Amino acid sequence: MDMMTDLLEVVTADVDARRIPGAVIAVTAGGSLIDLQTVGTIDPNSGRPMQEDAVFRIYSMTKVFTALAALTMVAEDRLRLDDPVAQWLPCFTGTRVEAAGALRPPSRPLVVEDLMRQTAGIGGGYHTSANTKPYYEHVELRKYEHRTESPTLDDVVRKLATLPIAADPGTVWEYGMAMDVLGRILEIADSRPLDEIIDQRVCRPLGLRDTGFSVQRPDRVAQPFTNGTPPGLVTHQETPAWLSAGSGGYSTAIDFAKLLCAIAPDRDGELFIPALGPITRELFIDQIGPLAGSGPDYIPGKGYGFSYGLHVPSGDPTWAAQDPHAHTVGWLGRAATSFVHDIPSGVGAILMTQCYGRAVHYRDQVRTIVARHQASSWT
């Protein structure tokens, strides 16, 4: 069977079993979209069939666009990866580390790169480190969930600055709200709101028409089953107050196919995105090395490292040896959206659905199927 047939078999079985209402699947190869299929319904309440241009809440896949926007600003020297966070956000001047029940100064300042590679010790995710989790619970701060939150990005970042970090910067992979802090820095550095930054710097150059922080046609937005869905879920038709750089985005399988089709190898074989400039190769290189597997919930998995918003093949030989077939880049969103690009073959797959609690499961399904069909490229 070909890759699309395998993907359809898995997804159709789950639609039939009512694990997911519906999905859009895309396969790319050689810089082109080669297949696009729909399964099930776009809205389980209405029973309307899924459509190819359905819009999905992409949650953490938003990080990829934020990282790309940041890299374009680094290329222009508007921002440096080693800039102290407090240089841009003075509210972080007094950052402290929680260590054995006491607060102490960090061993070095937080820098922009810590935010991009999730090594800032900033929590607020679904598996925040135990030593700082009570602080987030006390101030009722948790990452963006597509609800009617009223705080602005600046409000959220200022609240984050009052909380201790879980470990010294650069010592642990802590998956949380660090990208929201980066998003606020981008707004200051570029003198405009985050939605405009990502639209102008990433979406327009790549031709992404339906990626952003709000939607114009709510009837195109895929909806989950009510059971298991977070309370208060909304579809933003207007720009939300909280432009979450880490999890606030909407997008389509077609737009992510365009993103995967824009990836190309340079003459040294390193991946980059020509439309956004050569510095984008940094997005496809492991930036955490031996920190792989650290933290309370290492989502990339065995054999994979992390760059600035993607899982990538690990640069640490010991960790890389745990999965010799870790040859893809990609990421996932909380509601089970995912994308995978196979490095040796250049083949990609995108699965867009809306299902809470099974995000890693579906990402792994896609990654396994891509690996199975491209195994000959690794031998």
Cβ atoms of 338 and 350 within 8 Å: the answer is yes
What domains, with CATH codes, occur in the chain? Answer: 3-67+205-374 (3.40.710.10), 78-190 (1.20.58)
Mean pLDDT of the 173-189 span: 98
Distance CA 205, CA 275 (A): 6
- Distance between CA atoms of 290 and 15, rounded to whole angstroms? 39
Average pLDDT on 3-9 reads: 97
What pLDDT score does 371 carry? 87
- Report the DSSP beta bridge partners of residue 122: none
Q: Taking residues 69-81, what's their average pLDDT?
A: 98
Q: What is the mean pLDDT of residues 120-126?
A: 94
Instruction: Give the predicted TM-score (pTM) of the model.
Output: 0.96
Q: Is the pLDDT of residue 102 over 50?
A: yes
- Percentage of residues in the chain with pLDDT exceeding 90? 94
pLDDT above 60: residue 378: no
Name the band, by pLDDT with cuts 50, 70 and 90, for residue 149.
confident
User: Cα(339)–Cα(171) distance, rounded to whole angstroms?
Assistant: 28
What integer is the mean pLDDT of 264-277?
95
Tens-digit pLDDT profile for residues 10-58: 999 999 999 999 999 999 999 999 999 999 999 999 999 999 999 999 9
In this predicted structure, what is the pLDDT of residue 150? 80
212 pairs with which residues across the strands?
Answer: 250
pLDDT of residue 108: 98
Phi, psi of 102 (to 5 degrees): -125, 160
Q: Kindly report which listed range (145-154, 165-174, 251-260, 346-355) carries the lowest average pLDDT score.
A: 145-154
Q: What is the pLDDT of residues 220-260, one digit of tens each?
A: 999 999 988 988 999 999 999 999 999 999 999 999 999 99
For residue 67 the two structure tokens come to: 């990282």
CA dist 87 and 61 (Å) reads 27
Cα–Cα distance between 216 and 231 in angstroms, integer? Answer: 23
Distance between CA atoms of 199 and 242, rounded to whole angstroms? Answer: 16
| pLDDT of 134 strictly over 80 | yes
What confidence tens digit (pLDDT) does each residue in 276-323 have? 999 999 999 999 999 999 999 899 999 999 999 999 999 999 999 999
Are 214 and 250 spatial neighbours (Cβ–Cβ below 8 Å)? yes
| pLDDT of residue 375 exceeding 60 | no
